[in-house]
Chain A
């Protein structure tokens, strides 16, 4: 088997008063999409920030695209793309200016940076808005530009930190189809999300994270099967990922209970 695209072993990270990652382990095969799924505060963003070199772990080993991110973060940065929650674009510049600038910062020669910006604008359906300031973009357009900025170097591993948070359902579907077309070309991707449907839609593999560690891993089907056999319901149906999630994080599992809790 080839080397995994992402491998994290027993990663620990403590902030002043709170443990964010507590023995986090994850392995993502090259060419697959893994969703890191968990509630707010579970450690998803901390995990992504460590995997993308933005944060140093207190302990543990982290390899991404064959690079040891603790020993050689700069090499890793050449091979990864980051999109989402925290990484963003310059609002005052136009979409095109942003992509050319990030292209140059990826050390593309200027003409290549311009060509790449044109290609990405086309690919992400932003050609028309290319020369307008990003401040006037809709949430979906901005996220697509974000995605484009993360793809300038055709990264070996793409990190998507809650790529659809804050988007309306239409924009979310848009971003999903864009992500599907990117990962369809064989890019390895790690996606964090609170939306179980998103994980179901996009991922080959799901890792459930709770209190700073992965508590369950598998394909969407496998995870559903883990909960399935023990269920007693009047209607025969498969559990949804929402139920899987709540079961594994120790919260109520029936739809009725979820509704009760919501009220």
Chain B
């Protein structure tokens, strides 16, 4: 038996390498359970079919085809679904003892959490690609420049980045996969109380207010504008400044939930 020796410690390089190793771990799950991951990615596609073709006929889109209104909303919605898969994944690690194993090893909090976040962002890129392809297949199209389309993708990933920290925090807080179900349920009202599916001005006034200011609405509205898709016109200031809000909301969420996630991870030792 050889006695392996570690390299000279190089703190910064180690954090990067550990982050990459832990990101790689989550990505390897693709090969380990392709079916469940594929189903997760195809679920938003199913939603497009349901909302676009089943409800779509009865939906009035403000100033255009409903499908053109729906697809940007669904792209934002797909980012929100990342939150529940993150919570499930984090609570599973706790239940199966991986969290404990990793905590007993010389790895920094930064690497553990950054690895999670990075893997989720990479997963969401694949999810977005599938959704954009679906959109193009059902006749949706961005009508502005490539640059604006790329800016939309950037805003979507920025929103997802914020959601990864909400998800890590909730996962560490809730601990058990059973309680993660609560998040899976709560994602729906958050998603529906936005401009993702319908224009908020069709809702009762108090719901309209919530939906107008929902971070999801900010991103959905911003990318409708960037893609040149039909949008909704009510909502006043929030609607007119949607790009600014789509930049600001994820920043606010990250500033709140990133430190909470770090604190919660460290509190596992309390």
Contacts and interface: CB of A to CB of B under 8 A. Distances in A.
Contact of B100 (A87, A101, A116, A119): A87
Interface stretch (B103-111, B126-134, B195-203, B220-228): B103-111
Contacts, number: 99
Nearest to B22: A105
A77 B104 contact: yes
A77 B112 CA distance: 15
B4 A88 contact: no
Contact of B106 (A55, A78, A90, A103): A78
A92 B101 contact: no
Interface string A74-109: 100110101001111111111001000111111111
Nearest to A81: B104
Contact of B269 (A56, A74, A123, A149): A56
B25 A101 contact: yes
Interface in A134-173: 135, 149, 152-154
B269 A55 contact: yes
A253 interface: no
Given A55-B269, A77-B106, A92-B29, A153 B4 contact: yes
Contact of A119 (B1, B18, B102, B105): B1
Contact of A108 (B4, B100, B103): B4
Interface string B1-26: 11110110100001001100110110
A102 B101 contact: yes
B21 A105 contact: yes
Given A92-B33, A112-B4, A116-B4, A77 B28 contact: no
Contacts of A119: 1-2
Interface residues of A, number: 42
Contact of B32 (A74, A92, A112): A92
A90 B98 contact: yes
Given A56-B269, A87-B100, A89-B101, 19 more contacts: A53-B103, A53-B269, A54-B100, A54-B268, A55-B269, A78-B106, A80-B104, A86-B97, A87-B101, A89-B98, A92-B33, A97-B28, A102-B101, A104-B21, A105-B18, A106-B105, A106-B106, A107-B7, A107-B9
Interface of B: 1-4, 6-7, 9, 14, 17-18, 21-22, 24-25, 28-29, 32-33, 96-98, 100-107, 268-270
The 5 closest A-B pairs by CB, nearest first: A88-B97, A92-B32, A87-B101, A77-B106, A82-B104
